[in-house]
């Protein structure tokens, strides 16, 4: 199962979400009647800055002809009223003040992470920086990421 992660400090907008594209069923209920390719159903978990969940599915539109369109089912924490947005740092600082350690890493976990990260950082340090794809601030990243996904028949949702 392909898994893609896009991250950057100066991308087009601040958003953290997980998007699950469901596989197309082996049998298309609508046959060859679609005027355009039937898009995938998606489950989108909005982590930050607007927390919530969206389920986007294809549904047949009422009427004599067979046509589908995307329909979304949304849950948004904003439905609970206006709550001042917070950052992860506020939660961590509060937890440290009250002695809650659930969100903190143990020393052995940090050491294990460095065993993975250190060889990567060493390799990057030994290579020329010009070989790394660069992107302009305010964009969604270098064009190479688009080609990477397109080669597998996938695309970014944002």
Residue 57 tokens, joined: 């599915």
Closest CA to 20 of 36, 38, 4, 37: 4
Q: Which residue has the tokens 């989108």?
A: 44
For the domain that residue 103 is a member of, what is the CATH number? Answer: 3.30.360.10
Residue range of the domain that includes 81: 16-151
Confidence (pTM): 0.63
Whether the Cβ atoms of residue 156 and residue 140 lie closer than 8 Å to each other: yes
Per-residue pLDDT of 95-149, as tens digits, reads 999 999 888 889 999 999 999 999 988 888 887 666 778 888 888 888 888 888 8
Q: How confident is the model at residue 4 (pLDDT cuts 50, 70, 90)?
A: confident
Query: From CA 113, how far away is CA 107, in angstroms rounded?
Result: 10
Closest CA to 9 of 154, 135, 148: 135
* pLDDT value at residue 92: 85
> Looking at the 3D structure of the chain, how many domains does it have?
1
* pLDDT value at residue 30: 60
In a domain, 8, yes or no: no
Q: How confident is the model at residue 90 (pLDDT cuts 50, 70, 90)?
A: confident
In a domain, 36, yes or no: yes
Query: From CA 43, how far away is CA 28, in angstroms rounded?
Result: 20
Per-residue pLDDT of 6-57, as tens digits, reads 888 888 888 888 999 888 777 666 655 555 556 778 899 998 888 899 999 8
Closest CA to 141 of 13, 2, 45: 13
């Amino acid at each position: 199962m392909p898994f893609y992660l896009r991250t950057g400090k100066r991308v087009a907008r601040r958003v953290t979400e997980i998007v699950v594209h469901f596989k197309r069923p082996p049998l298309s209920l609508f046959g060859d009647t679609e005027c355009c390719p039937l898009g995938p159903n998606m489950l989108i978990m909005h982590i930050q800055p607007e927390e919530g969940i969206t389920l986007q599915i294809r549904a047949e539109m009422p009427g004599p002809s067979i046509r589908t369109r995307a329909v979304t089912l949304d849950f948004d924490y904003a439905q609970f009223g206006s709550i001042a947005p917070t950052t992860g740092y506020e939660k961590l600082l509060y937890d440290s003040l009250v002695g809650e350690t659930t969100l903190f890493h143990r020393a052995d976990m940090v050491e294990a992470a460095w065993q993975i990260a250190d060889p990567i950082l060493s390799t990057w340090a030994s290579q020329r920086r010009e070989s790394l794809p660069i992107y302009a601030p305010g964009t969604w990243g270098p064009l190479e990421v688009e080609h990477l996904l397109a080669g597998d028949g996938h695309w970014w949702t944002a």
